[in-house]
Amino acid sequence: MKSIGTIIRETRESANITLQELGDGLCTFQTLSRMERDERDVDKFLFDVLVERLGRNPDRLECVLSKQQYERIAYYDEAEEGIVEGNSNKALRGMRNFRKRRDEEGLLDDMLYYRMKGFYWLERKRKPRRALGYFEQALRIIMPNLTLQPGNLYSTWELETFMGYAKTRFALGEKEEAIVGLFACYEFAKKWEDAELRARIQPKCAYYIALWKAGSLEQRISLCEEAVELLRRSSVSYLLEPLLAELSILYQETANRDGLNRVRYFREPLAEEIKEYAPKRLQDAMVFRWKQCDYHIDYELIRGERIRQGMTQEDLAEDIYKSPISISNIECGKAAPNRRGFGKIMEKLGVNRGRIATFVAVNSFTELERLWEIRKEVGLGNHQKALQLLESSDFDAKEQVMLYRFLIDFKEGKTDGETYIKEIEDMLKETYSLGGKKFCRTPFQWEMDAIITWGGMMEDKNVTRVLEVLRNINREYSKSERDEKHCYRIYSELLAREITCLAMEHEGKQLKRFVQQAERYEFVCGKGGGLSGICCGRIRQMNRNLDQITKDAYKGMVFAELFYDRSVEEKQAYYVYYERRQHSAEV
């Protein structure tokens, strides 16, 4: 398997991009060269911006961060959440702590800090003139002329900052310049092949273009429709309700009754859930970035793996450090191993992970993106398409490919799962054994995929055991310093499977608590892919009357179509379920 530095270098060279062009305004080409040769650790913010400048999605990668790196991300998110939630103290505290932990090279950190200050004064305090100065300070680091240059490379972070600058100018009466800036951001984002990258920029541009009544009526409708589809395909709930509201107004102006009914069908249940579970959050803030990342903290990973393997600190320190005190300090978060020390520790523990890595063995971003496409098709139930993609590709990620084949065979009824259950248990035995009573760390993404696949096959046979495994994993998350929103892909799968198992076990009180937790979690992360399953979980709670069951069944149907475009036959299954409940003695 190639290192992440090698993958980035090959991606850059295939696009004919020089080191100077990639690092323009952010870092020296020497820094980039050392990163590509895997000779230095790179700040996570810098890494994300560089990868996005290459048109790739850094959220596809799984990261092991030092405590100091993670704290910087957590403080940035705290400031962002304070702005979105209308909590000035939280926003200012996050900005202050982020500034104290400024990276040694600093240019990107300066941009991020001034960007946050700009959004704070614009979207929280509503003082655009104060915000303008901060946005200009942020932008002059990467674009001295304060204009997007056609030949330059930009990330979503930089484009969002420029959009905040445009919104500020609009508020100050410079409407024409602001509209031109938004259209420029929209056109730049269209160049990206990755739909999730486009979904961070184009919907925000489309919403404000419609809100400001820029362009023709037909153009605004087209932009909003495209933006809604982007968010739907990316399972993003954030900004979706305001966009649907704008689209509703546009359809009224054009007397498009069918379009208006369609929008209302999606919008009303979504608005109702937002009102209940995220009432204080701004739903149209440019600063908000929905979460789809998986982070691990190095000292938690090292400590957990050492304990799992039955090693002492002395055993682990041997041939790496002079004293086990070094390992003790690392495991307590008091010290962070450098790149070389971290590599030696991982090698001794038998964990093939760099600081920033793919969660499976791949040799290019293209290969990684293909695996994600397969994963998505499997999740949507498009098994034939997933099989075609599997058969047309040659992956190094043998275990991941095997899991997808197991899951497709099981869902299509080609096996009862008994053989596959044993094979998955054997696959996990060396890294995340399901045979023990407890775990020592949270799982990697591929391990969680294996556990979810195993759970789906096991739950009809022994749901109690599946629930015990899931609860043990959840306990590891509760002990972690990491916030659950920084491991969305893994934790959302965990919650969804727990809800299913609790419903099967008829554990009413716990089911209610998990359903509420899962719904808040979706909106905190700005996602919506789990809403349909959450509504199904609410249906199976005890002591609910027929009207509540019917309403939740309807919402589950709407969200299944909104985020997954489920077929009519699948949607009818919701009706069949609650029609049976209508005539049952239980109701």
Summarised one tens digit per residue, pLDDT across range 31-85 is 889 888 888 777 889 989 999 999 999 988 888 888 888 999 999 999 999 999 9
Pairing of strands 294-297, 62-65: parallel
Residue pair 270/527 in contact by the 8 Å Cβ criterion: no
Residue 527 is given by DSSP the state B
Whose tokens are 């004293």? That residue is 323
**Neighbouring-strand partners of residue 65:** 297
| Greater pLDDT, 414 or 357 | 414
pLDDT at 120: 97
Kind plus residue range of the DSSP H or E element containing 216 = none
* Largest interatomic CA distance in the chain: 77
Backbone phi, psi, residue 337, to 5°? -70, 145
CB atoms near residue 579 (< 10 Å): 13
296: helix, strand or coil: strand
**Range with top average pLDDT, 126-130, 433-437, 446-450:** 126-130
**Neighbouring-strand partners of residue 236:** 527
Give the separation between CA 97 and CA 353, rounded to whole angstroms.
29
Which is nearest to 67 in space by CA: 498, 482, 542?
A: 482
Q: pTM above 0.85?
A: yes
Taking the alpha carbons of 22, 27, 33, 37 in that order, is the dihedral positive or negative? negative
What percentage of the chain has pLDDT greater than the value 70?
93
Give the separation between CA 137 and CA 148, rounded to whole angstroms.
15
Kind plus residue range of the DSSP H or E element containing 65 = strand 62-65
Q: Cα dist. 307→304, 471, 567 in Å?
A: 5, 20, 47
Summarised one tens digit per residue, pLDDT across range 177-233 is 999 999 999 999 999 999 999 999 999 999 999 999 999 999 999 999 999 999 999
Residue 234 is given by DSSP the state T
Which amino acid appears at position 362 of this protein?
V
Which is nearest to 168 in space by CA: 221, 215, 115?
A: 115
Phi-psi region of 174 (alpha: psi -120 to 50; beta: other; left: phi over 0): beta
**Neighbouring-strand partners of residue 357:** 62
Alpha helices, H only, 350-487 = 365-380, 383-391, 398-411, 418-428, 445-479
Q: Out of 294-303, 357-366, 496-505, 536-545, which region has the weakest mean confidence (pLDDT)?
A: 357-366
236: helix, strand or coil: strand
